[in-house]
Structure 1
Amino acid sequence: MDILETNRLFLRQFKPDDWEDLYEYLSLEEVVKYEPYDVKSKEECRREAFNRSKNTGFWAVCLKDNKKLIGNIYFQQQEPEDFMTWELGYVFNPQYYGEGYATEASEKMLEYGFEKLDVHRITAGCNPDNTSSWRLLERLKMRREGYFIKPIFFKRDANRQPVWQDAYQYAILKEEWFKRNK
C-alpha cells in the first residue's frame, strides 16, 4: 500500500497500534450515527485496528506534524472489477472537524484513484440528513446522481425492526476529474 501525502496530512495503511486514536472517535455516537456499526469499545477498536491493518480498503489519515491519526478513508474497488468503479467513504474525529482535513484527504484519494490506479468512476453514498457529508462530496465536485428512499438500514429499533434510511448517491468520472483539474 502506498503512502499518500498532502500539505498537512499523510494517508497510510492502518497499524494495530492505531487502536487508541481509532477509539477516540469510533466510541462517539455522533460519529457513528450514519455508519453501519454502533459505537465501539476499546477492545472492539483493538480488533478493528488489527483488521484494518490487513485490509487495503481502509486508509489511516494522519497529521504530518505529529503523526496523530485523526480519521480514516475507505476506498475500495466494487464488483464487477471490469467496471473499474471504486467507492469512497470517510470518518473523522470530531476534534478535527471544520479544518478541511476530510476534504483534503478525500481529494488526495480521488487523485490517487484516477491518476495512479486508472479508475473509471468513483462513487460515494451518504444519508441526506448528514449535511456535512454531502457538502464535502459537493466540494469534491462529485455529482449527486440519485436520492433513494429507504434502500438500506444499518441498525434496528428496540423491537428488532429495521430502521430504514434514505440515501444520496454521488459519483465522478475520470474524465470529469481531469477536466476540472486542468
Structure 2
Amino acid sequence: MSKLTLERGVSIRQRWGRAAVQVGGLQWSIDGRPLALILQEARSSLPKEGRHLTADLYYSVLQRSNDDYGDAGRDALRFLLGEDEWEEFPGRVPLLIGQCLHVECAVTSAIIERHDGAVTWSQFQAHQPGPEVEGFPFPSAITYTFDREQHDSVLREAQAQI
C-alpha cells in the first residue's frame, strides 16, 4: 500500500528544478513524491489540449485557512472522507488546481473508492468545470491504494489546519 502525506509550502524550484515559485497550502505526497510532480511527468501522454490544460495544475486545493480558498479544501477533505459528494462530478474529488486557485478554472480530480480497510485513488483526470466538458484522463496505471486508517488520519489532521 502507498503512504499519503501532506507537506506545507512546497517550493517548485526546490522539488522540480524550475524557477522559484512558492506553492502555498498543503501539498499531496504519495510515498514521498508530490502528486503534482507525478501527474506533471505523466501529462506527456495526454493530447495537446490536455497538456496545455494541465500545464499549471500543481496547486493543491488545500490552501491556507486565512485566504478565500479554504472552502474548496474543506470540501475536498469531506469528499475524500466519504462525508459528502462533489455535485458537479459525483464520485470524483478535486485534488489539484491551477494558479487561479479556484476549482472553477480547471482541476485534476480522481475517483475515490473507500473500502473497509483501504482507500483507492484512481482514474485521474484533468478537466475544466462543467460535466458537459470532456476531460483528459491520465494513464490508468496511476492508481494508489492507501491503508484507510493512515489515509483518514492524514485527512483529519489537515482538517484541523485549514
Return the index of the structure with the highest Cα Rg. 1
More RCO (CA 8 Å, sep 6+): 2
Between Structure 1 and Structure 2, which shows a larger proportion of helix residues?
Answer: 1
TM over 0.5: no
Taking structure 2 as the reference length, the TM-score comes to 0.31
Between Structure 1 and Structure 2, which shows a larger proportion of strand residues?
Answer: 1
